[in-house]
Amino acid sequence: MIVAVVMAAAALPGPAAAASGVGVNWGTMMSHPMHPAAVVRMLSANGVDRVKLFDADPWTVSALAGSGIQAMLAVPNDHLAAVARDPRRARDWVRDNVTRNLDAGVDVRYVAVGNEPFLKSYNGSFINITFPALKNMQRALDEAGVMVKAVVPLNADVYNSPEKTPVPSAGSFRKDINTLMVSIVNFLHRNDAPFVVNIYPYLSLYQNANFPLNFSFFDGGSKPVFDKGLVYTNVFDANFDTLVWSLRKAGVPDMKIIVGEIGWPTDGDKRANVKYAQKFYDGFLKKMAKNVGTPLRPGRMDAYLFALIDENQKSVLPGRFERHWGLFTYDGKPKFPMDLSGNGQDRYLLGVEGVQYLPSQWCVFDKDLKDRYRELPASVNYACSNADCTALGYGCSCNGLSHDGNISYAFNMYFQTMDQDVRACSFGGLAKIVTANASQGGCVFPVQILSASERVVPLRVLAASLVLSVAVFILM
């Protein structure tokens, strides 16, 4: 049924161009990537004219050549130390990733120096190297004679308001990094570079059990917040204007702001679902199309939606939802109707064409081998250590499976991740391969795609504590 709807939607005229200033984040932390050229064609077909990347991988970046899509490339956090320590590293990086790609027809606009380097969870690992890396990178770009700006995408946790005065006007940069942030924003401002901030209303809800659900959306269904004559009806506006106040106090009141990441996941948590995601995007895109801005900073704004495609190798330490931010599923299919132009004409976006699948077969638990149940915990633990079992969590899309269904789901995810290798459906004789679709109700047992990647990407494993909790949950 869903396939039929998607095909019918594809027969309609192509979607309108994305609202002015709307781009997407394109991450590549998946076991089976689609060919970048096919993804770029999909972006163009859907009217998306800007992307933000998390590295400068040639396989991905080269696909943007001649597309007219603006690109933000990135220096990953684990490269910051080298760029900070030696200006020559910055010059080499610019030569290899900026100048060369510009010459090849890639429209490079920004270089992101790190990604959320001041997160508290990093325990200060990048505090002393981010600013030197930023300065070296901007100097290298200037020396290369390119009109490209270096920026630092930062999480919204770099600023806050006191608990006793939780309004935007009380906001300022975090005390532990205030001096550093003042230096960074003034440097960016002098170089005509924007402040890039990642704002997640979903995380406000996820991290605070008492957070009002409707304040996450844009339909005014929650009690408003009043601050110095301004009215806030949603957390995004309040968060954004807290940053505006922080910039004012840092001496750069008119600094341009780009929202580097904003989105809503569709699985992995009880409030990470398609219904809420569609509601969130519908409201946000209408807001972008109207160019209303925020109470303190009205007018046009730029924002990159997070994210383009689900990534089954992302770390789940922040939450199981981390692997489900995509507007598109792992195989390039749109998850729900939406209108990137913000005009409210919701319909399914055009998917990625030419995706090839592995054979239609599934690995499931052999229920006739109950005498081997004692081996199940280790088998399920192994499967979920090397594949994505996040949909099995409480309130998630596969939460309603039976005991045996949970085991089959885990086995199949491992089997598909391992390219349906027959040896990946053994589990000590507990599993078998079937050709009847093993999906149950609203829980999809996927068939993996034929990876377009020519590289071998090592699988990320879940943290041991998460693996154990998932295994115990499955076997309950």
The string of pLDDT tens digits covering residues 324-370 is: 999 999 999 999 999 999 999 999 999 999 999 999 999 999 988 76
Higher per-residue pLDDT: 95 or 468: 95
Contact 178, 247 (CB under 8 A): no
Q: Among 22-26, 33-37, 47-51, 471-475, which stretch is predicted with the lowest mean pLDDT?
A: 471-475
| Rounded CA separation 229/247 (Å) | 20
The string of pLDDT tens digits covering residues 215-259 is: 999 998 899 999 999 999 999 999 999 999 999 999 999 999 999
Q: What architecture is the 22-348 domain classified under in CATH?
A: Alpha-Beta Barrel (3.20)
Question: Look-up: residue for tokens 């230096």?
Answer: 183
Which residues make Cβ contacts (< 8 Å) with residue 473, sequence separation at least 6?
Answer: 392, 393, 394, 406
Whether 116 is catalytic: yes
User: Which of the following is catalytic: 116, 143, 322, 375?
Assistant: 116
Could you tell me the two tokens for 438?
């093993």
Instruction: Give the model's confidence band at 11: pLDDT under 50 very low, under 70 low, under 90 confident, else very high.
Output: very low
Q: What is the pLDDT of residue 371?
A: 67
Q: Quick count: other Cβ atoms within 10 Å of Cβ 287?
A: 20
Q: Among 2-11, 43-52, 371-380, 410-419, which stretch is predicted with the lowest mean pLDDT?
A: 2-11
What's the pTM?
0.92
| Rounded CA separation 199/191 (Å) | 24
Q: What is the pLDDT of residue 368?
A: 84
- What average pLDDT does the segment 401-424 reach? 96
- What average pLDDT does the segment 40-53 reach? 97
Among 157, 152, 121, residue whose Cα is nearest residue 318: 121
User: Which of the following is catalytic: 143, 261, 322, 454?
Assistant: 261
- The SS3 of residue 265 is coil
Domain ranges of the chain: 22-348, 362-452
Q: What is the pLDDT of residue 462?
A: 36
| Rounded CA separation 109/23 (Å) | 13
Instruction: Give the model's confidence band at 374: pLDDT under 50 very low, under 70 low, under 90 confident, else very high.
Output: confident
